[in-house]
Structure 1
Amino acid sequence: MASHMPVNHSLRPLYRALALFAGLFVLAFGVLGFLDSQGEPLFHQGESSALGLKTNPAFSYASIAAGVAVLLATLVGRNVDRFVDMWVGVGFMLAGTAMLALMHTDSNVLNFTMATCIVSYLIGSVLFTAGMYVKVGPAAKAAAEEKHRAGVPA
């Protein structure tokens, strides 16, 4: 799989911008959720919300950490963003799946609703896709990858 990831993709700036916006959204959600859920227990299943999605202090803290990680990685670039975007994207999709399974139980520790699961899948998909297309490398490696994808023998 890794041998077929594009190097120096022509839409790399677009994917970096999408990752940046996803990171900004997650960070804004976390900060607003933190402000709305102050004073509540860490895993409270209450009515606190941010940007139309329910939250609690634990989910707000996790969102702030994920948003900062994505933003810093995107600003650093140099394939750090590729690694972080892919893993954080997978994390969002796994969290969405786990919370979907636990939504109507007492184990819903992040206070997820169906809307929160859907947004988690969307953010995860955007970040994972961005991670696959932001890889940078020398022009020779990009040319070799292009030949490999086109089926031209080395």
Structure 2
Amino acid sequence: MASHMPVNHSLRPLYRGLALLAGLFVLAFGVLGYLETQGEPLFGQGDARALGLRTNPAFAYASLGAGVAVLLATLVGRNLDRFVNMWVGAGFLIAGTAMMLLMRTESNVLNFTMATCLVSYLIGSVLFTAGMYVKVGSAAKAAAEQAHRQGAH
């Protein structure tokens, strides 16, 4: 699988930018969700909305944490962004699936709707994909990987 993770990909700045935008969206959602849901039960299933998506305090806190993690990792770089983007992206994909299964039950602890699940999939896909293409390494390592891909062992 490591041979499918390019080093110094030519579109790395684009993927870092997309991860940064995704992190900013998640952080903005978390801040607005926090402000909108103050005083509500942590896992409540009310009608509070932020950026058009339903939320509750638990979802707002989780979004704040994820947004800060993605932004800090993207700003630091040095392959920390690769690690964080892949794990946070996978977390968004898993959360979207779990909340879709629990959507119309009392176990919908993050107050998801179908729109929220779709946005979670979108954010997760962007972050996970960015994580696959932002790996950096020395020029020698990039050349060795390119030679391996072309079959010149």
Does the TM-score normalized on the shorter chain lie above 0.5? yes
- Say which SS state the counterpart of residue 46 (structure 1) adopts: coil
TM-score by length of 1: 0.98
Deviation at 1:2, TM superposition (A): 1.9
- 1:1-154 maps to which residues of 2 (within 5 A)? 1-152=1-152, 154=153
Q: List gaps (5 residues or longer) in structure 2.
A: none
Superposition deviation, residue 3 in structure 1: 2.9
Q: Distance in 2 between matches of 1:47 and 1:151?
A: 57
Q: What amino acid is aligned across from residue 28 of structure 2 in structure 1?
A: A
Distance 1:2 1:105 in 2: 40
Q: Is the 8 A contact 1:4 1:145 kept in 2?
A: no
Query: Following the alignment from structure 1 to structure 2, what is the Cα–Cα distance between the partners of residues 7 and 87?
Result: 19
Give the conservation status (yes or no) of the 8 Å contact 2:79–2:134. yes
Deviations 1:90-140 (A, max 9, x none): 000000000000000000000000000000000000000000000000001
Letter in 1 for 2:22: A
How far did 1:53 drift? Answer: 0.3
Q: Secondary structure at the match of 1:23?
A: helix
Percent identity between matched residues is 81
Q: State the alpha-carbon separation in 2 of the partners of residues 141 and 95 from structure 1.
A: 35
Tell me which amino acid in the other structure corresponds to 1:27.
L
Q: Does structure 1 retain, via aligned residues, the 8 Å contact 2:19–2:126?
A: yes
Give the deviation of 1:148 after TM superposition.
Answer: 1.3
- Unmatched runs of 5 consecutive residues or more in structure 1: none
RMSD across aligned positions (CA) = 0.6
Separation in 1, partners of 2:54, 2:150:
47
Residue identity in the other structure for 1:150: Q
Q: How many residues align?
A: 153
The C-alpha deviation readout for 1:12-70, integer Å capped at 9, x for no partner, is 00000000000000000000011011100000000000000000000000000000000
Q: Secondary structure at the match of 1:10?
A: coil
Secondary structure at the aligned position of 2:108 is classed as coil
